[in-house]
Structure 1
Amino acid sequence: MAQHQAIAAVAAAIRGLIRERYPRDAFNTLTVEMYQAKEIEKGLTGDGFAILPWRVTINTQRRGRGPRVDIFGRRFRPSLPIDLSFLIIPVASSAEKQLRMLGWVMRALEDAGPITAAQLNDYLTEDNIFTVEEDVDLVCDPLALADQLNMWDRIRKHPLFVNYLVRMVLIDSNQALDDNGEVLERGFGVGMAEEAI
């Protein structure tokens, strides 16, 4: 399961996948960067993709998880399941190029499928954030109308965007659960008579 750097690793993997795969012959040079909302509100220049991590929530579907058990049988507090939301914003000098970029990125992220542990561990300096068997699903998640309008109010200069959701990123706890040791012997006291008074 993932360490506490998991959120940063997921964002870096999305950025890396777009950066490595965009067609240079169709778009020349594009910048692909993560931004904070305040930077996007000011307006972006140049051609590229802006990635805005904007919501982190607890995944309530799998909240009641049992303790995590490692390969040595040690028990730890349950992993924290979270969902991450990212806006992918194409920024271009013309509307046509912006639409072409949006179409390409949506198709490319759909084709990428689940993001594997190797990809998740590849873009940060730490290389063991996710274990080998872990991967995460990246799905296009259209915003509810209220959220869409709220986003348009916040980032008026870049109204064209698409929302992606990464579900069930499990962040592990390193806090061990106290065990009382192994049971070696039991005494039931069956058949023992009480002393009469």
Structure 2
Amino acid sequence: MASHRGVEAAMLALEAALRREQPAELAAFAPVRLLGSADLARQDLGGLLGLYVYRVEIDSATRNRYHVPPPGSNAAVQPLLPLVLHFLLFPWVANASEELRLLGWAMQALARIAELDAARIGAFDPDWLDNERASVQPEDLSIEDLLRIWDGLPLRYRPSAAYAVRTVFVREPPQAGAGRVRTRVFGLDTETGAGAGP
């Protein structure tokens, strides 16, 4: 399960995966870059292919799950926080040809990547387990929903595609359990019925 860094790690892993696959001719004028709100507020982004997380929500389909430690580990059972990361993919370049080429390539690459696993995320969050997976899925947003998102950003609208990383399970750092249960047996004095000492 991911640590509190799971949200950041998933997006950094996605950025790194796209950078590895990006052809040199596209990277030369528009490298892949994870953007934050402060980056968007500056509005001097230059040439890039942006990834911007516009919403993080709890996955209602996977609530109330727990991480059960392996038998004999003596660790406590921990609740999991299932998170879905919603992000926009958009090119920020000077002309229509580059814009469409970037968007087409990036959507093709995300279809090929399809999921994030420990091999991709482990470098950014070592708590990610070997059997964990988070899928990268396109989101079917209406034009009204997409425009509403852009209206809330400090940028003018750009052609973009919406995606979600589903699901990042965040948990607390492992904590030791209470230890073995110990018992103490007191003898019973048969003559008086009183408990005998240890």
* TM-score, length basis structure 1: 0.79
Gaps of 5+ in 2: 184-198
Q: Give the equivalent residue in structure 1 for 2:118.
A: 117
Alignment of 1:39-78 (within 5 A): 39-66=39-66, 68-70=68-70, 72=73, 74-78=75-79
SS of 1:74 mapped into structure 2 = coil
The superposition leaves residues 106-141 of structure 1 with CA deviations (integer Å, 9 ceiling, x where unpaired) of 01010112112110123x3x5x13111112101111
Offset at 1:12? Answer: 0.3
CA distance in 2, matches of 1:146, 1:68: 42
Offset at 1:36? Answer: 2.4
SS of 1:52 mapped into structure 2 = strand
Q: Note if 1:159 corresponds to 2:133.
A: no
SS of 2:137 mapped into structure 1 = strand
CA distance in 1, matches of 2:17, 2:28: 17
CA distance in 1, matches of 2:45, 2:65: 45
Letter in 1 for 2:103: L
State the percentage of identical aligned residues. 23
Q: Give the equivalent residue in structure 2 for 1:147.
A: 145
| RMSD, aligned CA | 2.6
SS of 1:119 mapped into structure 2 = helix
Q: Give the equivalent residue in structure 2 for 1:187.
A: none
SS of 1:75 mapped into structure 2 = coil
Offset at 1:93? Answer: 1.3
* Contact 1:30 1:49 survives alignment (8 Å): yes
Q: Give the equivalent residue in structure 2 for 1:191.
A: none
Offset at 1:49? Answer: 0.8
CA distance in 2, matches of 1:16, 1:149: 28
Q: How many residues align?
A: 181
Q: Note if 1:87 corresponds to 2:85.
A: no
C-alpha spacing 1:66/1:17, structure 2 compared with 1 (3 Å)? closer
C-alpha spacing 1:143/1:38, structure 2 compared with 1 (3 Å)? farther
* Contact 2:74 2:176 survives alignment (8 Å): no
* Contact 1:44 1:91 survives alignment (8 Å): no
CA distance in 1, matches of 2:168, 2:117: 12
CA distance in 2, matches of 1:6, 1:89: 23
C-alpha spacing 1:40/1:67, structure 2 compared with 1 (3 Å)? closer
* Contact 2:26 2:102 survives alignment (8 Å): no
Alignment of 1:8-27 (within 5 A): 8-25=8-25
SS of 1:81 mapped into structure 2 = strand
CA distance in 2, matches of 1:177, 1:31: 44
CA distance in 1, matches of 2:83, 2:23: 32
SS of 1:157 mapped into structure 2 = coil
CA distance in 2, matches of 1:166, 1:101: 21
130-139 or 43-52, larger mean C-alpha shift: 43-52
* Contact 2:74 2:179 survives alignment (8 Å): no
